[in-house]
Amino acid sequence: MTNDILEQIKAGEVSGVQFKERTLDKYDIGCELVAFSNAHGGKLVVGVNDKTGKINALSYSEVQETTNLLSDIASENVVPSILINVDTVVVEDGYLVVATIKEGVNKPYHDNKGIVWVKNGSDKRKVFDNAELAEMMTDCGSFAPDEASVKDATINDLDTNTIKAFLENRFDKVLEKKGLVGDAFKEASLDTICSAIAKGHDCERMLRNLRFIRPDGKLTMAAMLLFGKYTQRWLPVMTAKCICFAGNSVGGKVFRDKVNDADMEGNLLHQFDTIMDFFTRNLHNVQIRAEFNSMGKLEIPYSSLVEFTVNALVHRSLNLKAPIRIFIFDNRVEIHSPGDLPNGLTVDDIKLGTSMPRNMFLFNNAIYLLPYTGVGSGIARALDENINVTFTNNASVQEFVITVWREESNQVDVESNQVGNEVDTKSNQVEGKSNQVEGKSNQVQDSDTRLRHSDTPKVSLSNKQKDIVNFCSVPRTTAEIMERLGLSNQTKNRERYITSLVAAGYLQMTNPENPTASNQKYKKATTK
């Protein structure tokens, strides 16, 4: 410990280590302890000048006095009171006192004047924002924002088809025993399905029992995020901003594609589908075999993009008033998720598969709508794809950023990287007024986006079927599709998840003249 402290003194103060020459100001010391408790803990070293880093060792009697004083401050100047661990370090001419403060479990802590402090680099700052206070309470488990109520929303604001898809996935075995599968399930009313799952239950009672409706009759935030028709009417910031820039700067005013707010409006399943469509139409396919006509694959593996997107949607902070932001640049893709890693997690932890969900109730239920396993292996599986990815946990701005670097060979110049289905030749030009962010130029880009989204099928699909349609943005074999679903390559599975989607126009064959060809693949239909 002595060597570690001496090395830290040479390096200077950081967010987790603070220096004080003496404990002369009880209030100031109390504020430091509050800030550490509201952050991830730290050490207060007494006997070092915080301006110069020069050691001014304590005498034996000063050590006794300082130790007692620190304990008093932790009890009287920190609310609620905390326990600290105090050690001494022998140095030339005397001692240093090192107080170790753990991350608090009853956040937010405040001083004896009622002020909340948090660490701000090597310094501290006051907190006044309710969202930041709520984030502290969430971090220590005393507040669950996904179970908070949504003011004035009612069950009529939820989407019936999404609730049916959720129930189908969650209670598939029960429904199968009751004969509610396939067309029988599709034709059944929501109340009929609920009654089959639990006798005497209608939709409202089912949602109450599943805790999507609170005892006071109000919808939870999780219900609105998972099932809402127009989620952003009630929760405006629970959305995503998607922009594909020309160049490598977020300050650029020229873009190739963006998703309009109206097209993103909807629940998490809709947002997931919209984001994946954005990726697949703006990232490139690269050849994986030498033959010119060989099928390519998405330059960033589709499975990795799924994991990163679900991570942003499910694990984002629900307290912070900021949207998810997704940017595609010429050299990288960035996914910005509001909120730094929760519960003291580090980047190394998530790479190893450590799972400590921020929004536990949402996390445990979104698994029945979104494609993830829920066992914390998503990031690890994405890394197995051998992609060049950087994770940035930025606590100072409360944001977690995933950056996936694109291969230089996959980068295309501005003129050749136009998005398909543009309105006319003039709107295809990246340079000039047609693609400017400001003014009338947005009208062209917006109409383009609406055209692209007008092809979206209106018929409701199950969660697994939607995932397969998106998965086939790159041509896939039958074996790949079955592996994606975790199902055996049997006739009934092929009929449900491939043949039926081809017949309905969601998928198309790469070799339609020979349906039974050994090299047959399936891709997402360009039109419906």
Give the helix ranges, DSSP H, for 83-241. Answer: 130-139, 160-170, 172-177, 183-187, 190-197, 203-209, 221-227, 231-234
Share of the chain above pLDDT 90, in %: 59
Q: Do the domain assignments include residue 66?
A: yes
CA separation for the pair 95, 81 (Å, rounded): 27
- Look at residue 289 in the predicted model and tell me its pLDDT: 53
- How much is the mean pLDDT over the chain? 85
> With bands split at pLDDT 50, 70 and 90, how would you rate the model's confidence at 197?
very high
- Look at residue 244 in the predicted model and tell me its pLDDT: 96
Mean pLDDT of 188-214: 96
H or E element that contains 338: strand 332-338
Is the domain of 430 the same as that of 522?
no
Q: Of the residues 197, 231, 265, which one is the last residue of a structural domain? A: 231
Is the domain of 49 the same as that of 66?
yes
- Look at residue 483 in the predicted model and tell me its pLDDT: 84
In 3D space, the residue among 440, 219, 410 whose CA is nearest the CA of residue 329 turns out to be 410
Q: Of the residues 74, 99, 128, which one is the last residue of a structural domain? A: 128
> Is residue 446 over pLDDT 50?
no
Mean pLDDT of 22-48: 95
- Look at residue 354 in the predicted model and tell me its pLDDT: 79
Q: Do the domain assignments include residue 138?
A: no
Q: Do the domain assignments include residue 137?
A: no
- Look at residue 377 in the predicted model and tell me its pLDDT: 67
CA separation for the pair 330, 346 (Å, rounded): 29
Is the domain of 77 the same as that of 164?
no
Is the domain of 269 the same as that of 362?
yes
In 3D space, the residue among 4, 8, 42 whose CA is nearest the CA of residue 123 turns out to be 42
Mean pLDDT of 55-81: 96
- Look at residue 412 in the predicted model and tell me its pLDDT: 43
Q: Do the domain assignments include residue 364?
A: yes
CATH code of 279's domain: 3.30.565.60
Q: Do the domain assignments include residue 141?
A: no
Is the domain of 410 the same as that of 464?
no
Mean pLDDT of 121-133: 90
Tell which wins on pLDDT, 438 or 325. Answer: 325
pTM for the whole structure: 0.70
Q: Do the domain assignments include residue 139?
A: no
Domain that holds residue 511: 457-528
Is the domain of 31 the same as that of 161?
no
Tell which wins on pLDDT, 375 or 222. Answer: 222
Is the domain of 278 the same as that of 350?
yes
Is the domain of 337 the same as that of 386?
yes
> With bands split at pLDDT 50, 70 and 90, how would you rate the model's confidence at 287?
low
14-23, 260-269, 272-281, 421-430: range with lowest mean pLDDT? 421-430
The total domain count for the chain is 4
Is the domain of 264 the same as that of 317?
yes
Is the domain of 158 the same as that of 108?
no
Mean pLDDT of 45-58: 94
Residue 9 · residue 68 · CB < 8 Å: no
CA separation for the pair 200, 206 (Å, rounded): 10
Max CA-CA distance within the chain?
A: 93
> Is residue 408 over pLDDT 50?
yes
Model confidence over 166-177: pLDDT tens digits? 999 999 999 999
Mean pLDDT of 289-298: 57
Q: Do the domain assignments include residue 35?
A: yes
- Look at residue 419 in the predicted model and tell me its pLDDT: 37
Q: Do the domain assignments include residue 111?
A: yes
DSSP letters for 358-375: SSHHHHHHHTTTSS--SS
User: Token pair for residue 166?
Assistant: 């959720």
Is the domain of 392 the same as that of 256?
yes
- Look at residue 125 in the predicted model and tell me its pLDDT: 93
CATH code of 37's domain: 3.30.950.30
90-94, 275-279, 488-492: range with lowest mean pLDDT? 488-492
Is the domain of 93 the same as that of 122?
yes
- Look at residue 517 in the predicted model and tell me its pLDDT: 84
Q: Of the residues 231, 257, 273, which one is the last residue of a structural domain? A: 231
